[in-house]
Amino acid sequence: MRAHPGPGDGWVDERRQVGGTSVHCRRSTSGDGVPIVHLHGFAISGAYLMPTARALAARGVNVVPDLPGYGRSERRDHVLDIPALAECTIALLDDLEIDEAVLVGNSMGCAISLEVAHSAPERVNRLVLVSPAGGVHNQPLGRAVGQLARDVFRESTRMFPVALPDYVRFGPLNGLRLFAELTRFPSLERLVHTPVPTLAVLGTRDPLLPPPGRIREVARLAPEHLTVALVDRAAHAVNFSHPVELAGVIGAWLDDAIGDGSHLPPGVRVAAAT
């Protein structure tokens, strides 16, 4: 493992060996709480997750990896599917000597987080799923591509210089292949069977997510340990565009203070199950 000063005070960049692959991680260096591991979406690195990770750094060690084949991590000879990326996540937890973590996934990172929670629930303290795309609403693939195109125009323009180099490096064919797999992953349906306490955070302007009626239905069918929160005016990349709101709702939920919503930041509300 090699570490050197990272993207700001209290952070380091480091290299970890995961399954024979060099994986790049950004890691905060202080805090006594349960470690928080942030998992990025398809074709992109973890860089866009840093605003929320920084906002949560006071709660404990935060880890923001570039999964194998992404960002500054070593390329693979083939694109890993969602189950393989979940296995890599568990291997990374082992290498970091993290017995149990809070997983915060965005987009494809939600599918990976769900895979980890279902296969190794003892490794997941709590689960935060931000914009959990996948399932019937994103099918067929052409419909999902159209939804993704609409989302591009709803994201902050500050996202473009962060995301574009990652997408170019990952390659359009690899991106399309993995995106097709993501659209087939039944994220919302699997939420109702989550084995660990779970918070789902959805942007009200996210075109990749179902309409409000379907979200209320999921909230109604969900077990008691699943909470669904909505962030007003947010699109798909909530971790980048609304870090204060997202960190605020995550913090309130981790503190078991989400209650009637009085401890939530402005613009965040709990989805009613009616």
pLDDT of the chain, 274 residues: tens digit per residue: 544 554 457 899 999 999 889 999 999 988 789 999 999 999 999 999 999 999 999 999 999 999 999 999 998 888 899 999 999 999 999 999 999 999 999 999 999 999 999 999 999 999 999 999 877 778 888 888 898 889 999 999 999 999 999 999 888 888 888 888 888 888 777 777 889 999 999 999 999 887 766 666 666 666 678 888 999 999 999 999 999 999 999 999 999 998 777 889 999 998 865 4
Confirm whether 218 is domain-assigned: yes
Q: What was the pLDDT predicted at 274? A: 44
Give the residue among 211, 217, 167 at the shortest CA–CA distance from 192. Answer: 217
Task: Judge residue 157's burial from the number of C-beta atoms within 10 Å of its C-beta, 0-12 exposed, 13-18 middle, 19 or more buried.
Answer: exposed
Confirm whether 230 is domain-assigned: yes
Structure pTM?
Answer: 0.93
Confirm whether 220 is domain-assigned: yes
Tell me how far apart the alpha carbons of residues 246 and 268 are, in angstroms, rounded to a whole number.
8
Confirm whether 19 is domain-assigned: no
Q: What was the pLDDT predicted at 44? A: 95
Confirm whether 74 is domain-assigned: no
Q: What is the CATH number of the domain that holds 194?
A: 3.40.50.1820
Confirm whether 107 is domain-assigned: yes
Domain count along the chain: 1
Alpha helices (H) along 121-221: 141-152, 160-170, 172-184, 187-191, 212-221
Confirm whether 156 is domain-assigned: yes
Confirm whether 56 is domain-assigned: no
Range of the domain at 186: 31-45+96-270
